[in-house]
Amino acid sequence: MEAPLLTKTSTSDSDYLAVKSLKEANSIFWSETVVLWKIAVPAALTALFQFLLNSSTTIYAGHLGDAELSSISLYSSVMCAICFALIFGMSAGLGTLCGQAYGAGKVQSLGIYLQRSWIVALILVIILLPLYVYATPFLKLLGQENDIAELAGHYSILSIPYLFSYTINYPTQRFLQVQSKVNVIMFIAFIALVIHNVLLYLFIYVLSWGITGAAMASNLSSWVVAGGQVIYAVGWCKEAWTGLSWLAFKDLWGFARLAIASSLMMCFEQFYNPCIILLAGLLDNPVIAVGSYSICLNFAGWQMMLLIGVNIAVSVRISNKIGMQHPRAAKYSFLVTMFHSLLLGMVCMIAIFLSRDNLAIIFSNSRNMQLAVAELAYLLGLSMLINSASQVLSGVAIGSGWQVKVAYINLTCYYVVGIPLGLLLGFTAKAGVKGLWGGTLCGSILQVLCLLSVIWKTNWTKEVEQTAKRMQGSQLDPVKP
């Protein structure tokens, strides 16, 4: 096998030797730990800052009125969530290709992959555009109140520029992440968050533009993120970015297939919780059922910000090491990351258990709601532990290019096993939201076991060899001068 050209910045080190002593294992553990958190912490902070962009809009909308708050919340939880899951998932496909190419030393291919991802993302957004334009009838079809649906639909149309920023934002973010340029992304996200809050104050309080001002602030700040990342990618990533090329239009369907698989893999995970919320609304006393579960999801969402960083870190590390033809390093990276993620999950689970009686105080003064959340606390803690494992396994899948396989696993575990079991326990067995969540949680446990089985059976040396052959025979590289 011909050795790939390696760049000094990313591939100068060699693969680990087989561990033969506790001292060697300890050395590898701390080495991988440092690398993991150097990527994971900035990636997690980036996710947090971007999460706060939407939260800031919701907070300001809450001071405009209950209708404005409900409409923007509805837009965020339905329209925005659908498009985010599809495009963010699609960008994971770019992360696989770019990460493996970067590890193999084919750095110039990254710019072609990025441009190809922009094109595919743009096509996807154009397909999704009618959903934004006709958001009002779509939301009414889902049973939402007319006034809220009308206002949410109006806000959705105003936010179309925000939708198009996705085509640049997430692909460029993956392009930079695989090169471990995570601090730059974090800085841009933080600056955008500050600008966003200044614009919200100016447009809503000073100029009194109301919901239109909130949409304009979101549009501008989202393009600050997208523009800042592109400027850095073009201006400071000279090896990876060699200029615009017609090669970006070559083999678009092959790229789109991986992108679609990545999107489906993400969607099957992201749409799971909204399904539970909709089902909880059909239970007796739906106000308490939906409210208590939503409060639990908020706590799980805070933990997810850290887990997203871990997911990105392990996917970058695995894809780089596979591309560099370092099978042991890929395997050891997975083991070390899993240890840290499970430790994080254990800490969060214990914290939830210890504070279960007071969890809901932050969100509600209702004693009934507080008691309902306390009853769900054990399921919340267990869910946090399972999510800690699931995010690492999903990151390994992205880094290894197993999106199609994992999409089938997610579909089966979540929607063939999890939700039907939740329906059985929640409605037939009369266990309410606890049965609904507990049953669906079984689907999550099954997904973790399936992914663990896949990884356990993986021959990392074979994965490396297949990637090397694909990279050597790739037609995606820029034309040599």
- The tens digit of pLDDT for each residue in 132-145 reads 999 999 888 877 77
Query: For residue 173, is it within any domain?
Result: yes
Query: For residue 429, is it within any domain?
Result: yes
Please compute, for residue 306, the number of CA atoms within 13 A of its CA located in the half-sphere on the CB side: 19
Query: Same domain for 287 and 142?
Result: no
Query: Same domain for 241 and 281?
Result: no
Give the chain's radius of gyration (CA, Å): 23
Query: Same domain for 143 and 207?
Result: yes
Query: Same domain for 417 and 455?
Result: yes
Query: Same domain for 279 and 189?
Result: no
DSSP secondary structure, 399-426, as one string = HHT-HHHHHHHHIIIIIIIIHHHHHIII
Residue 472's pLDDT is: 64
Query: Same domain for 316 and 359?
Result: yes
List the domain range (segments joined by +) for residue 300: 271-475
Query: Same domain for 226 and 326?
Result: no
DSSP secondary structure, 342-361, as one string = HHHHHHHHHHHHHTGGGGGG
Please compute, for residue 79, the number of CA atoms within 13 A of its CA located in the half-sphere on the CB side: 33
Residue 207's pLDDT is: 92
Query: Same domain for 215 and 294?
Result: no
Query: For residue 260, is it within any domain?
Result: no
Query: For residue 388, is it within any domain?
Result: yes
Query: Same domain for 233 and 293?
Result: no
**pTM of the complete model:** 0.80
Query: For residue 100, is it within any domain?
Result: yes
Query: For residue 221, is it within any domain?
Result: yes
Query: Same domain for 108 and 233?
Result: yes
Residue 474's pLDDT is: 53
Residue 178's pLDDT is: 84
Name residues of the chain where pLDDT drops below 70: 1-13, 278, 470-481
**Distance separating alpha carbons of residues 455 and 449, to the nearest angstrom:** 10
**Distance separating alpha carbons of residues 388 and 382, to the nearest angstrom:** 10
The residue among 177, 212, 271 whose CA lies nearest residue 60 is: 212
Percent of residues in the chain assigned helix, strand, coil, to nearest 5: 85, 0, 15
Residue 456 CA: distances (Å) to CA of 334, 450, 452? 11, 10, 6
Query: Same domain for 136 and 58?
Result: yes
Query: For residue 379, is it within any domain?
Result: yes
DSSP letter, residue 108? T
Contact (Cβ atoms closer than 8 angstroms) between residue 344 and residue 70: no
**Distance separating alpha carbons of residues 230 and 167, to the nearest angstrom:** 12
Query: For residue 202, is it within any domain?
Result: yes
Quote the number of domains for the chain: 2
Query: Could you tell me which residues come within 8 angstroms of residue 290 by beta carbon, excluding any fewer than 6 positions away?
Result: 277, 280, 281
Query: Same domain for 89 and 132?
Result: yes
